[in-house]
Structure 1
């Protein structure tokens, strides 16, 4: 701060005699004690910025904002391309959401830096309380702590520290403002011009919104902690250099006929978790004795499996499944059963395990020509928006409170699509569908063994709805030269097993393929 007290002192009348040559300016008006009266409270010289400590505090806040914005940018990029050592096995949207909250809080605090108010302090205390609870849940619940890793923990701790810092900033600026008013005007200013009242109102509304957001974050974390108590059937295996875990479960015992082992059915989910789609149907067949043994797994981001680093293609998923099966000492032989987009994953797996695969069973499969639809930029943007809003948990909270949604619903059931992990998995699928995955499925088609038995069962509704879909279903019957059956179930939807006729036909065809000599 410039030392104003070293400037020459002049008599006020002398200044007037010189026709304004030495008129008082904003700085000389601050020399309280050299003027005959106090300054007006409305004088612009009455400002907390006169104190070097207040200016230093503002510079510190600006530095914190710059650090938070750099971290926010890094987390934004990592949603699409994971940096080394920063991959979170959770969705990644958790850390991004808390950093967005921190950046907004710091920016707003700087905009209204010189207008401290009691409502802002009260709301800041509320925000700090809930962020502290969020931090405790994140650190205390092992499942959440492992999923979010050091990135998520550091982010929520930083958000809590900044909330505490903003309380200190607000109170210190209020003190500095009061000190300068008393020094320069002789009293504390209790009036507020309309501009300041509007600023206080804006502060109050903004802080109320942020506090509500922090409450929603907390409730979502409580639901995640509750869901973590549901144990996964089977086992979870670390894959990809122990970067993440995938869930795998095998049911039943191996059997053989003569010198030949009966193959194990290996399930691949379609658009949703396998536990909510194919697995219940196949388990029913197992209970009836139609099949002796089956295995199913959750692709990264689905149900009990962690999210994988980005980018993540169908070929990478196939490698993760191969590694998990090896760790579980599961060697096949396999009959691969898949539905929808799962057929893309299964066909790539089959091309990489030519000798272990004894049959490919496709249920209303997705043709590779439709990968361009999966890769649409608009779809990716919608998934990203859903992802960044997912930590609020509005749909999950509503479902839990008003619709009685359970842990099972949120992990693998009808509410699974609402979780950040699931959305991240779909976003990863979108990002590489038209490039990496398209290239991998093209290569798989060229190397597939021509004598591998193949069965295709198509949805009658989907075939009638689109000639293109019907044509692509027919094309998929030629991925090997050993087509056993191609059936179109007249009134069945995309999930063919949901109709009585569809279930009957699927059971018949699967029996034939598994027991084929």
Structure 2
């Protein structure tokens, strides 16, 4: 009995001890749980969005499923914003340089190509940022096409000597930067696509292959925009190839550095200087009108030389025309005549001169005459622009249209169409009937517009006061223009009074503004030039 009772007592004690132990265990379990949790790793970039039990996934439509979860993707976006900022600053500088050339940023070309490349770069970065979180295969494909085209442009600009000189370091830097940004955008697109895939697999358990309607619209929009950009760059590439082709056309005469070696102007002289010096006859100095002189007065003057009417003549291209480089902005008529004076001195041409000019070229000739009073022995003005019409040249609306034409000129729409469908030659594009389509020509006309009512107007007013009154003068006027505008007729009459030695003033009845294009105009012009030469001989 004792042993049985003792056995029951022992069993009861063990049960009480076990229950007490369980109570202690239950009391101590939160501490152990805390210890286990404290030993677990802290949530990081790859685990903080996962459910805490580690067994579930987020919905694919959850906003938390985003490549922006990766700090590297966020850093890449910040880098793109930085690139956009510095590119925009460069874009502003190039925009300003079209109107006023900053120090060390003058381009001997038009400056429109480097502005276009920078504009494309700004647009490309903005597109990359707008569609940053929606990477797509079409974006990568078009990006590769764009990079290849820009790389070809870079090779053409660097390897073609004439284009390399015209674009300068500014143009080269702009196209290189555009090429690098295009490559960077491809890498950015691929990395964001990888980050998106990684986050989807981590947070949803699989890569999301569906796209929402908004995403499909975004892909469509970015594809269309990238295709348009690629077409633009393709046109620019074709225009560069055409420019390289035109650069192979050698100029007659020579080119001379002027204005502290900032740019070159083209001067050509025809005739034997020794024979002309023996006869003691003046050299005809020809100034073109609204376009290059080679497409206007030079052919007519050359015919007179071939017929023996004149012994020698010289002509030049104003900055931006034909073979001459563009000058820094602003650039007035007086600055252009100073460049001509410097180029003639470098060429060893000392005159004396008879100045033959047409249209707006009359403004340049009159300023040149006032600055070379001893060397200029006669003035021959062919339907010359009167200074009262400088307001027309300097109209703001005209300047805006010239600027707009310059901005789109790198596309070469008119030049490419002319070369492909109309068979336009290098001569047509350099100095002929298509010369007005070139960026350098447009830049020169824009420069002319910007200062017509300010600097040029002041220079021509001074020239009129300085001009010697006994200089022989011939004025030839277009009958068409005189009948069309009473103001033009009064201006032509007033031009006959810039000196007191008017040899002749002829209004050729049916002749247009370009008087030499009619047979009557050429006959009268030749006769009057002969009269002027005789008047000069009498003066001497």
Q: Which TM-score bucket, shorter chain as reference?
A: over 0.9
List per-residue Cα deviations over 1:451-498 (Å, max 9, x = no partner): 000000000010111111101100010001111100010100000111
User: Are 1:323 and 2:342 an aligned pair?
Assistant: yes
Of 33-42 and 102-111, more deviation after overlay is shown by: 33-42
CA distance in 2, matches of 1:254, 1:494: 33
Q: Tell whether 2:376 aligns with 1:371.
A: no
Task: Give the Cα separation in 2 of the matches to 1:107 and 1:277.
Answer: 47
* C-alpha distance 463-129 of structure 1, shift in aligned 2 (>3 A): same
**SS in structure 1 at match of 2:273:** coil
Check the 8 A contact 2:292/2:431 in 1, yes or no: yes
Rounded Cα–Cα distance in structure 1 between residues aligned with 2:48 and 2:322: 69
CA distance, structure 1, for counterparts of residue 331 and residue 317 of structure 2 = 15
- TM-score with structure 2 length normalisation? 0.90
Q: Kindly indicate whether residue 95 of structure 2 is the aligned counterpart of residue 76 of structure 1.
A: yes
- Report the counterpart of residue 322 of structure 2 in structure 1: 303
Structure 1: 5+ residue stretches without partners: 1-9, 12-25
Residue pairs, 1:10-159, within 5 angstroms: 30-32=49-51, 34-159=53-178
- State the Cα distance separating 1:253 from its structure 2 match: 1.7
Q: Who is 1:16 aligned against?
A: none
From the two aligned structures, give the one with the greater helix fraction.
Answer: 2
Distance in 1 separating the partners of 2:417 and 2:278: 56
Q: 2:308 aligns with which of 271, 289, 307?
A: 289
Residues 50 and 58, structure 2, Cα contact 8 Å, conserved in 1? no
Supply the distance in 2 between the matched residues of 1:251 and 1:93 (Cα, whole angstroms).
34
Corresponding position: 1:478 with 2:497: yes
Q: Any idea what the Cα deviations from partners look like across 1:273-303, whole Å, max 9, x if unmatched?
A: 0000000010011111111100000000000
Contact 2:50–2:56 (Cα < 8 Å) also in 1? no
- RMSD in angstroms over aligned alpha carbons? 1.6
Instruction: Give the TM-score of the pair, scaled to structure 1.
Output: 0.94
Per-residue CA deviations over 1:245-278 (Å, capped at 9, x if unaligned) read 0000000123679986100000001000000000
Runs of 4+ residues deviating >6 angstroms: 26-29, 255-260
Match in the other structure for 1:408: 427
What is the distance in 2 between the residues matched to 1:379 and 1:343? 21
Partner Cα distance (1:305, 1:210) in 2: 32
Displacement, 1:37?
1.2
Q: CA deviation at 1:32?
A: 4.6
Q: CA deviation at 1:36?
A: 3.9
Deviations 1:488-509 (A, max 9, x none): 1010000011111100000111
> 1:47 & 1:130 partners in 2: Cα distance?
33
Query: What is the alpha-carbon distance in structure 2 between the residues aligned to residue 490 and residue 400 of structure 1?
Result: 36
Equivalent position of 1:22 in the other structure:
none
Tell me which moved more, 253-262 or 156-165. Answer: 253-262
Q: Which residue of 2 aligns with 1:465?
A: 484
Counterpart for residue 418 of structure 1: 437
What is residue 217 of structure 2 aligned with on the other side?
198
**Alpha-carbon shift at residue 122 of structure 1 (Å):** 0.3
Q: C-alpha separation between the residues in 2 aligned to 1:277 and 1:34?
A: 87
In structure 2, relative to structure 1, the CA distance for the partners of 1:258 and 1:277 (3 Å cut) is: closer
Give the number of the structure whose alpha-carbon radius of gyration is greater: 2
Aligned position for 2:3: none
Q: 1:20 aligns to what? A: none
Structure 2 distance, partners of 1:220, 1:425, is 19
- In structure 2, stretches of 5+ residues that fail to align are 1-32, 35-44
1:513 positional shift? 1.6
Superposed, 1:219-234 pairs within 5 Å as 219-234=238-253
Aligned residues of 1:380 and 1:431 also touching (Cα < 8 A): yes
**Cα distance in 2 for residues equivalent to 1:41 and 1:271:** 67
